[in-house]
Chains A and B, each alone.
Chain A
Amino acid sequence: MKSIARIRSWGAAVLQTGTLHRPLYRVVPTALAIVPVSALFGALAARADWSWLEILAVGVLGFSGSGQFALLPLAEADAGFFTMLMVTASINSRYLPIAYASAGRLPTSLIQRAVVAHMLGDEAYATEHDSDSKRAVMLIRGTIFCAWVGAGLLGAVLGQFIPAAWVGEGVNLGFPASVVLMHLSALQLRARLWQVPGSSRTRGLAAAGLCAGVSLLLISLLGPLYFWIPSVLAATVILGRTDI
């Protein structure tokens, strides 16, 4: 009861300022876009005999789109802890630089900082702005987190009534989330490469094109799981030599 009251007062503190309607307006479409993806996970997990409690726990404690999907077959095959850890760490290694770069936006209190850091995701990072307050960041991450966890449970319930073909490989339910992430990434790149006062747009775009080429090369060499860290580092070096 005490912890519920604490969460309620935290939520009230987050919403008490009137300046939060802008981040809320920004995050709602993003949160809606990930609902089908998480619902799909919930439906597949329920079909693999995961209980509602397990689906809730993996959403809250795991909170990783691709990581959760990757572990479904591994859990069915009774894979060991270190195998699963290697797979999830490889998939989520991209969060290392993102978490470090966005650490300045987090609350200072130890528990809140750890909780909000845990709720970091691709969509949240792309939705946040450098100018966002700590409360805005908590709102953005909390909204996406709750949407993800809730949609997983919803998918588990709906999965019992939906024909198997609807949640099969044939229907790309994850595409709306990809579209949203592409839109947010393009907006961020526009602000960071195109609208920087005093920097050359041509050089910025050329550098971005080179980074994209290197990234594609690394995906083809290392695969889409292991390219993240070397590719982000390479892009950082290339962009660092331009005037952004």
Chain B
Amino acid sequence: MNQSVAIAIGALFLTSCLVRILPAFVSLRMAPESRRYVERVLPAAVFINFAVYIAYSELVREPLAAAVSLAVVAAVAFLNALGLISAAALGTALYFLLAS
């Protein structure tokens, strides 16, 4: 195995140990208010950041196509109008149509 590739794999695995495996073994005693934060507030905060990050990273590449496509997909999901496969197909088709 190439040494620099082995180092890259080692860095990724150690990162996974630090940010994914280790927190799974940390248990804290929490008051009800803290539990509300961890179980309800924190996940919502993460999903808002997912949405903003996706929109930002795609808008940088193709502003109009990404904006229209992601807005339609988010609206469809929020209205619960289509399933995941149909929404993904619609969003992807819109993007490549507008980007071409």
Provide the residues of chain A in CB contact with B45, threshold 8 Å. Answer: 97, 211, 232-233, 235-236, 238-239
**A93, CB-defined interface residue at 8 Å:** yes
Interfacial chain A residues near B11, Cβ < 8 Å: 71, 81, 84-85, 87-88
A53, A185, A215: which has the most chain B beta carbons within 10 Å?
A: A185
B residues contacting A by CB (< 8 A) are 1-2, 4-27, 36-58, 61-62, 66, 69-70, 73-74, 76-78, 80, 84-85, 87-88, 91-92, 95-96, 99
Q: Is A139 an interface residue (CB 8 A)?
A: no
Q: When each residue 162-205 of chain A gets 1 if its CB lies under 8 Å from chain B and 0 otherwise, what string results?
A: 00000000001001101111111111111011100000000000
Q: Which residues of B contact A192 (CB under 8 A)?
A: 40, 43-44, 47
A186 to chain B, nearest CB (A): 4
Give the 4 A-B CB pairs with smallest separation, nearest first. Answer: A62-B12, A235-B45, A186-B77, A84-B11
Q: Mostly helix, strand, loop or mixed at chain A's interface? A: helix
Residue from A99, A186, A190, A219 within 8 A of B20 (CB atoms): A99
Q: Does A15 contact B (CB under 8 A)?
A: no
Q: Which residues of chain A are near B95, meaning CB under 8 Å?
A: 172, 175, 179
Residues of B within 8 A of A100 (CB): 23-24, 26, 38
Task: Tell me the total A-B contact number using a CB cutoff of 8 A.
Answer: 255
Q: Identify B43's interface contact among A182, A188, A233, CB under 8 A.
A: A188
Q: Is the CB of B12 within 8 A of A53?
A: no
Stretch from A2-10, A118-126, A146-154 that touches the partner: A118-126
Report yes or no: B18 in contact with A89, Cβ–Cβ below 8 A: yes
- Are A185 and B54 in contact, with the CB atoms below 8 A? yes
Tell me the count of chain A residues lying within 8 A, CB to CB, of chain B. 87
Residue of B nearest to A125 (CB): B46
Does the CB pair A101–B39 fall under 8 Å? yes
Q: Which residue of B lies closest to A106 (CB)?
A: B24
| A182 and B24 within 8 A (CB) | no
Q: Is A24 an interface residue (CB 8 A)?
A: no
Asked whether A103 lies within 8 Å of B24 as measured between CB atoms, the reply is yes
Q: Which of A26, A120, A190, A240 contacts B78 (CB 8 A)?
A: A190
Q: Which residues of A contact B57 (CB under 8 A)?
A: 178, 224
B58 with A175: CB separation less than 8 A: yes
Residues of B within 8 A of A79 (CB): 4, 7
Known: A182-B73, A239-B41. A219 touches B16 (CB 8 A): no
Residues of A within 8 A of B18 (CB): 89
| Shortest distance from the beta carbon of B67 to any chain A beta carbon, whole Å | 12
> In the complex, which residues of chain A have a beta carbon less than 8 angstroms from the beta carbon of B55?
182
| Residue pair A81, B10 in contact (C-beta under 8 Å) | yes
Q: Which residue of A lies closest to B83 (CB)?
A: A29
Residue of A26, A71, A78 most packed against chain B (CB within 10 A): A71
